[in-house]
Amino acid sequence: MNNFSSLKSTIVFRMIIPIMVFIILIECAFSYLVTLHNVNETYDRWLLNSARSLEQEVNVIDQKISVKLSGSALKIFKWDDVGSTYFNIQTESGNILVGDLPLMDKPGQANGQARLFSNILLNGEKLRMVSLNVSAGLPEAVFINVAETLDRRSERFIEMLITDLAPQLFLTLIIGALLYKGVDRVLKPLHKLTDYIAQRSPSDLSPIPDDDVFDEVVALTDTINYLFEKLSNSIASQQRFISNAAHQLRTPLAGLKLQAERAQREQNIETMRPALKQIQNSADNVSHLISQLLVLARSDQIEGRHSFHRLDLLDLTKNICMEWVPKALEKEISLSFESLEKDVFVQADPILLTELLANLLDNGISYGHQQGNILVKIVKQPTPCLILEDDGPGINESECQKVFERFYRIPGTSGKGCGLGLAIVKEIADLHLIDLKIGKSDMGGVQFALNFRQINFD
């Protein structure tokens, strides 16, 4: 399993550990610099004190500079249990009065300073040296040079660095452990939420409680609850649809069976004809119902506008009207199309939009008056608008929204419809974000107005 697949691992390995490493590095660098400075200050001070102690041994006898340093004093001066100490006392003229250091340049005089610290190399070994310029009361300037190896400094530096870093590192590790445990504690409500969801039944779509979760997680639970609500509504809608579809199919299928049994009882073809006619009508009703159900199924499966294309609304509407003219003529209905617009383009699914217009025309022809009129027109106001109106019986205002419900039919309505035509129109319109309005037509019947969204095709 990937270590970074969990939130805890991500917080630990990508936040806590990098921060702790950064803090430790800062602590080490700071302690290193501070300890190095303190050790150098301490041992440089000791070198300077040693040089000043030798200054006391410089005297002038008979106008000559002399140094009196006993063997025991010299032994004490040079004693070092770890490293080595070297010194010399030299005059400005270049004479070494005493000591084991070779002749040095006159750094104090060269820099105009009474003392000067420097690093030198003697026999391949690094030394730290102080040069003290002594000239008061002397015939010529005298330089006292004291140098020591770095062994004691290094040893002391390591001791002090460890002493300084140990408690800091220990405290840092304790803080890291507390942060690690804190992550567990912070994530505990999230783990409880995970366990709660895992133990739920697959059919349980009730909202997830978010009383004990953080504000950042509430957004997630709200989204899940919103999806649960949509899924629950979808399932309930499907169940109602299946129940209604089964009910609607049961009637024509029962009629088919009844008429088939009736035909079987007849002895000659002439007496069978009424039953066969009823069988044909029932089969037509079932075929129409199944066709409508398939259209609904297709519209339910489309999500988003990925299958939409740039369509010429004028050409599409004109062609559909021409296809429905023969059926309108069967009922002696005048079907006309008019538009003063040119190049009216919309973004739509061509199959679904064709089905929408076909259902509106079928509704107008099926429920319109004999020798009635149906007018289809397209205008821009300023967005494309398709208007279909007739001079039929119309729809009462109280029924205007109900007619878009699945399987709903206005009480007392004649015809062989199944109550899905206008429901299909509504669903396809909603899918295309079409503003569908229903009202009274100036011709006396019903008017459907479909306002399309403005789409920029440039």
pLDDT digits (tens, 9 = 90+) for 374-417: 999 999 878 899 999 999 888 888 888 888 887 777 776 665 66
Beta pairing class for 435-440 and 373-380:
unpaired
Say how many residues make up the chain: 458
In this structure, the strands spanning 115-122 and 58-61 are unpaired
The CATH code for residues 235-299 is 1.10.287.130
Residues of the chain with CATH 1.10.287.130: 235-299
Cα-Cα-Cα-Cα torsion 318, 322, 323, 327, nearest 10 degrees, comes to 130
- Region 308-314: what's the mean pLDDT? 88
Q: Please, which pLDDT band fits residue 106 given cuts at 50, 70 and 90?
A: low
The predicted-structure confidence for 220-252, as pLDDT tens digits, reads as follows 888 888 888 888 877 777 776 676 667 666 656
360 C-beta neighbours (distance < 10 Å), count: 24
β partners of residue 335: 374
In contact, 388 and 374? CB cutoff 8 Å: yes
Separation of alpha carbons 246 and 406, rounded Å: 13
Residues of the chain with CATH 3.30.565.10: 305-451
User: Does 153 have pLDDT greater than 80?
Assistant: yes
The model's pTM is 0.49
pLDDT band at 1 (very low <50, low <70, confident <90, very high): very low
Q: 12 is written with which tokens? A: 């630990």
Task: Name the CATH architecture for the domain at 305-451.
Answer: 2-Layer Sandwich (3.30)
Determine contact, residues 248/407, Cβ cutoff 8 Å.
yes
Which tens digits make up the pLDDT trace of 263-290? 777 777 777 777 777 777 777 767 766 7
Model confidence at 300, in pLDDT bands (50, 70, 90)? low
Chain segment 65-103, per-residue pLDDT in tens:
878 776 666 676 776 677 888 888 888 888 888 888 888
Q: How confident is the model at residue 307 (pLDDT cuts 50, 70, 90)?
A: low
pLDDT level of residue 39 (50, 70, 90 thresholds)? very high
Domain 7-158 fold: Beta-Lactamase (3.30.450)
pLDDT value of position 333: 92
Instruction: Read off the pLDDT of residues 134-152 as tens digits, 9 standing for 90 and up.
Output: 877 788 888 889 999 898 8
Q: Check pLDDT > 70 for residue 299.
A: no
In this structure, what DSSP letter does residue 207 have?
Answer: P
What whole-number distance in Å separates Cα of residue 446 and Cα of residue 363?
11
Band of residue 111 on the pLDDT scale cut at 50, 70, 90: very low
Between the alpha carbon of residue 264 and those of residues 97, 206, 278, 283, 285, the distances in Å are: 147, 54, 14, 17, 22
Residues of the chain with CATH 3.30.450: 7-158
Mean pLDDT of the 321-342 span: 89
Q: Are 456 and 383 in contact (CB under 8 A)?
A: no
Query: Is a pLDDT exceeding 60 seen at residue 187?
Result: yes
Q: Is residue 298 over pLDDT 70?
A: no
